[in-house]
Structure formats: structure tokens, C-alpha cells
Amino acid sequence: MGRHSELVRWYRGDPSQRAVIPGKKQIVVLGKGSTSSPFVPAASALVTTGSNSGVLSTPTTAALNSAMASPWEIRILMAAANWVCGAVNDYVSGQIGSSGFTGAAWYIYRGATTRQIALGLVNAGGGAGPSAGANTPAGWAAGSLHWVRVTWNGSTNISWYWSDDGSTWTLLQSNTVSGGALNTPTQPVRVGGGDGNVYQGMASSFRRFEFRTPIAGAIICGFDATQTRVGALTCPGLAGETWTVNGTASFQ
């Protein structure tokens, strides 16, 4: 006798309960009680635990390197586990290395036991540059989702803003600083921590990150967590780059 195909009907997702009908093409139907699914849901955020190594990273690019000589800004949609920093400074994002300012250009960090978030810059040649911050609003509850934004005018000003819709921005603080030419970075861009090795990471969830140049200009580096899947090890970038999960960070 020749081979024949089968129609296999699954009941309640239990493969032990099936009916075989000879002479029919094989079709598999998941029952109402099945918990199986061929689809992995889209992620809603990158989640970091505060470990030094738990970060999302992407290599620096020619566009980022060129931007260091121009005005630029960073926008981050995030939900800090606690908007008051813990006992030590933690790092939100940056292009900074474990050996200090070698290959570094900028870093965003929070001040220990405060609501302050700050941008630090690295001068050409690897020396410490200006740093300036602002306090996030006192009404922000732990785990609440908000946009934070920092602008660098390319010479003498660092300003911080916040928003709940990503369109209407409220100034937190404008800081006049003694600026200068910034270092050309070789370090990757990291979100969720500083260098992925030494500096304390931040416990938070991150939905979106944007690096723009000039201020209010085009996105030249960034990611949106909803553009990848839960448990994914990479995420497509907003400017064609690829972001990679490191350590205990995860898309959830």
C-alpha cells in the first residue's frame, strides 16, 4: 500500500488526544486550552538590574564622532526603579571606558542619594571636561515612566528638560559651563550603565534612547525597545546600527 497523509486534530493542546483521519492532508489545529504559540511578543522595554555589566551597547560611528564637534542632544524614555539614586553614583548611559577617560566623550550619571541627573563631558585628549545636572521632579514615583533630555550647545551650555509625551518639554535647569573641544570617542554607546565593567549600572527600564545632532535634529544613534522581541539579544537601531544585550540586561 502507498503512503497516505493524515489529518491530526489536537484537542485542548494535548497531543495525546488526537483523531487520525486517513486519506486527508495533515493539519494541526491548536485547541482553546493550548498554551503553545509560534509567536514571541514584542518587547516593551530594556530592563537593567543595576549590575555593572548589564547594559545595551552599540559601537561608535563616524556620525557620532563628527557630532562631538557640534551641538547635540540625548533623549531617553525611561522608568527608574527609584528616581532617588542609591548610596553611590550610578550611570545611565555614556561613551566611557573602564580605564577612565581613554576613548571617552560623554556620560550621563546620577548623584548618590539625590534626584540629580547630570551630563559629564570629556575634553579633547582625554581630560575631564564640564559637568552639569538638574534634579528630576520630586513628584515622580519610583518606576514611573518619563522622558529626560539633555542638550549640549557645543561650547558653553548644558540644559536639562523633562516631558511626559516627548513633544512638550519643561526646562529643569540651564547651566553655563566652561566648554571646549570634546574628545573623539572610541568607546561604544552604552545604555543602562557607564562602561559595562566598573561604573555602577542603573536599575531601570528603558523604552527609547535617541542621540540627535544638531539639537532637535536627526537621530544618528538610538533604539526603541518595541522594535524587538522579548528575550532578544539584539535590537535594530534607529539609524541603521545594531544594539547588543550584555550581562544581566534583557528585553522584556
> Phi/psi of residue 225, each to 5°?
-60, -25
Q: Is residue 62 part of a domain?
A: yes
High-pLDDT (> 70) share of the chain, %? 85
Question: pLDDT band at residue 155, thresholds of 50, 70 and 90?
Answer: very high
* 178 and 227 share one domain: yes
Question: pLDDT band at residue 109, thresholds of 50, 70 and 90?
Answer: very high
Lowest model confidence (mean pLDDT) among 2-6, 77-81, 151-155? 2-6
Residue indicated by cell numbers 485542548: 12
Mean pLDDT of 182-196: 91
Determine the pLDDT at residue 197.
Answer: 76
In the predicted model, is pLDDT for residue 59 greater than 80?
yes
In the predicted model, is pLDDT for residue 27 greater than 90?
no
Q: Is residue 6 part of a domain?
A: yes
* 80 and 203 share one domain: yes
Name the percent of the chain in helix, strand, coil, to the closest 5. 5, 45, 50
Q: Is residue 221 part of a domain?
A: yes
* 18 and 83 share one domain: no
pTM score, two decimals? 0.85
The angle at the Cα of 107, spanning 84 to 65, to the nearest 5 degrees, equals: 155
* 146 and 243 share one domain: yes
3-state secondary structure of 132: strand
Mean pLDDT of 43-56: 95
In the predicted model, is pLDDT for residue 11 greater than 70?
no
* 114 and 145 share one domain: yes
Strand ranges (E), 29-155: 46-49, 56-58, 72-80, 90-95, 106-110, 116-123, 127-135, 146-152
What is the residue range of 70's domain?
Answer: 46-251
Lowest model confidence (mean pLDDT) among 3-7, 126-130, 150-154? 3-7
CB contact at 8 A, 111 and 132: no
Distance (Å, whole) CA 179 – CA 224: 31
CB contact at 8 A, 80 and 203: yes
Residue indicated by cell numbers 482553546: 32
Strand ranges (E), 90-217: 90-95, 106-110, 116-123, 127-135, 146-152, 157-163, 170-176, 189-191, 203-213
Mean pLDDT of 13-21: 40
**C-alpha 28 chain-centroid distance:** 40
Q: Is the alpha carbon torsion for 171, 172, 177, 180 positive or negative? A: negative
Tally of domains within the chain: 2
Q: Is residue 41 part of a domain?
A: no
In the predicted model, is pLDDT for residue 208 greater than 60?
yes
